[in-house]
Amino acid sequence: SEERSLNFLEEIVEEDISAGKHGGRVLTRFPPEPNGYLHIGHAKSICLNFGLAKKYNGKTNLRFDDTNPVTEDTEYVESIKNDVRWLGFEWANELYASDYFDHLYDFAVAMIKKGLAYVDDSTAEEIAAQKGTPTEPGTPNQYRSRTVEENLQLFAEMKDGKYPDGAKVLRAKLDLAAPNMHLRDPLMYRIKHAHHHRTGDKWCIYPMYDFAHGQSDAIENITHSICTLEFIPHRDLYNWFIEQLNVFPSRQYEFARLNMTYTVMSKRKLMQLVNDNYVDGWDDPRMSTISGLRRRGYTAASIREFCERIGVAKRENMIDFSLLEFCIREDLNKTAWRRMAVLDPIKLVITNYPEGQTEVMHGENNPEVEGGDGGRDIPFSNELWIEREDFMEEPPKKFFRLGVGLSVRLKNAYIVTCESYKKDAEGNVTEIHCTYLPNSKSGHDTSGVNVKGTIHWVSVPHAKTAEVRLYDRLFKVEDPSNEEGDFKDYINPESLTIIPNAYIEPDLATAKEGKGYQFIRKGYFTVDKLSTPDKLVFNRTVTLKDGWKA
Ligand code: ATP
Ligand code: MG
Ligand code: MG
């Protein structure tokens, strides 16, 4: 993509490098919590963290932020690794916050020894009440004055499993009057008797985000810790812990998260769609997950281009879903192979073409590529499937398709002229009869006849059948999370239309997963991961912007 001015994070990094900070070294991290599949918002964070490091000869760690045992699972770890790799990025180290549990425990003990942390027996409600309000300072309770020895002993007992969930917490002894509520003696550890996907039953106390994230950054010597805007109020605390522990001075920087129209972008909501069977799994092609977009036919390059185009902002905004569609269209226009598929078939018979004869036509794979990107053979015969909408009994002026007396070119084949048609008892058109011009074959046309329209077709005896799935937006409204009631009330009931029996040219029977195809005049499609030779299934990635000139 073209030159653009530096974004604010690049400016920060360049300043740090020229100031010689950390010897010019850049180390970022992408820190997903393995409690769901990654979505397009995560792709933005991935492109940002990996892109920034790459640009400045740095590196990026993939760190699983797995400090919450209840919601995390190795299935998610595997999917996240797969998605990051598929997006085209390589991490320097695969790390887990849970690998730092011993380290973090020692940090907590150090805080207690400095008189900067205490064990509190209050309930969550009591703690919330004692915190005060933004205009009223909080009030210290009796536990705040516990001695270092007492705190050390109680914290060790918490770790040893002496207390049930919720009986005690470890809190920072910071400032109950701080204007920033996050500084009013924040929680550092809670008791949770739960099995962890990596540490098993070793721990029954788990660090809170604020006492895990910055410390993990420091342990890894992360230079630029990039997160979304909602963490701005956490920044003072992030710095305070680092200062008190006297560890590597990682710094936190915040950017605006990606919000996109007609989608939801939170693992919690995406999980509801999956669990309540509104969609067919995390990788349903209507989902905003990376795996869903991949199954839909989005390429990694188009998602990277999208992330580059939306840029990096310091204020929340809403990106139009159509920008993502624009990016995939641009990419597929250059890479997708052109093929013919008839989604709503009607039979066309060429009355002056020998019955039972097969002729092999040739079509290039992609006219946008020099030399056509190779090509394929297309069998032709006297009986073809064409789209029902390409014929009209009473065509208006400027209908450059078929009607009695009208001529069109059959793509990659001959010019035909409609002579007559047949109808059934209910008045539905069942068959269109044409004659062809033998000297009008594409590439060898000496007929001198000019026709305005070109239509696609598939030879009846050679056609394969396929199920074709047409996807539309999953939600009817731009911002389902901001509507009254439940976001699921705004699901588009027409987000999926299934065409059980479309006719496709035989070459498509060997379509490869992950490859884009343009069904000419119909849109971009890709073969579904569950497609088999006996039951071919194609997903529509995106429609053609302006339709193909007919
Ligand atoms: P969710 O609310 O969807 O669960 P999360 O922030 O809890 O998102 P994490 O797994 O913690 O999910 O996120 C990993 C990284 O991705 C974090 O650094 C987070 O800031 C970033 N991220 C998450 N959602 C977005 C988004 N919509 N836009 C940009 N970055 C995002
Ligand atoms: Mg998170
Ligand atoms: Mg979350």
Residue of the CA atom closest to atom 25 of ligand 1: 41
CATH architecture of 1-91+256-335: 3-Layer(aba) Sandwich (3.40)
The tens digit of pLDDT for each residue in 55-86 reads 999 999 999 999 999 887 889 999 999 999 99
Confirm whether 171 is a catalytic residue: no
Which residue in 548, 546, 545 sits closest to 409, CA to CA? 548
The tens digit of pLDDT for each residue in 438-462 reads 999 999 999 999 999 999 999 999 9
Instruction: Give the ligand whose atoms come closest to the C-alpha of residue 271.
Output: 1
Two structure tokens written together for 234: 């956490």
Classify 337-542 by CATH class.
mainly beta
User: Domain-by-domain residue ranges, the chain?
Assistant: 1-91+256-335, 337-542
pLDDT band at 406 (very low <50, low <70, confident <90, very high): very high
Instruction: Give the ligand whose atoms come closest to the C-alpha of residue 30.
Output: 1
Residue 184 has pLDDT above 70, yes or no: yes
Confirm whether 33 is a catalytic residue: yes
**Nearest atom in ligand 1 to 31's CA:** 14
Buried b (16+ CB within 10 A) or exposed e, 62-75: bbbbbbbbebbeee
Confirm whether 267 is a catalytic residue: yes
Backbone φ and ψ for 373, nearest 5 degrees, come out as 60, 40
The tens digit of pLDDT for each residue in 280-322 reads 999 999 999 999 999 999 999 999 999 999 999 999 889 999 9
Binding-site entries: 33-35, 39-45, 65, 209, 228, 257-258, 265-267
Cβ of residue 266 lying under 6 Å from some atom of ligand 1: yes
Cβ of residue 130 lying under 6 Å from some atom of ligand 1: no
**Out of 10, 33, 150, 330, which one is annotated catalytic?**
33
Q: Could you tell me the distance, in angstroms and rounded to a whole number, from the CA of residue 429 to the centre of ligand 1? A: 54
Cβ of residue 258 lying under 6 Å from some atom of ligand 1: yes
Q: Could you tell me the distance, in angstroms and rounded to a whole number, from the CA of residue 461 to the centre of ligand 1? A: 52
Q: In which region does residue 257 sit, left (phi positive, over 0), alpha (psi from -120 to 50) or beta (all else)?
A: beta
Which mutation among 28, 38, 42 tests ligand 1's pocket best, with the greatest number of atoms within 8 A of CB?
A: 42
Residue 326 has pLDDT above 60, yes or no: yes
Q: What is the pLDDT of residue 2?
A: 57
The tens digit of pLDDT for each residue in 379-391 reads 999 999 999 999 9
Q: Is the pTM of this model over 0.80?
A: yes
Residue 546 has pLDDT above 60, yes or no: no
Backbone φ and ψ for 355, nearest 5 degrees, come out as -65, 140
Instruction: Give the ligand whose atoms come closest to the C-alpha of residue 34.
Output: 1
Q: Is 307 exposed, middle or buried (0-12, 13-18, 19+ CB in 10 A)?
A: buried
Q: What is the pLDDT of residue 547?
A: 35
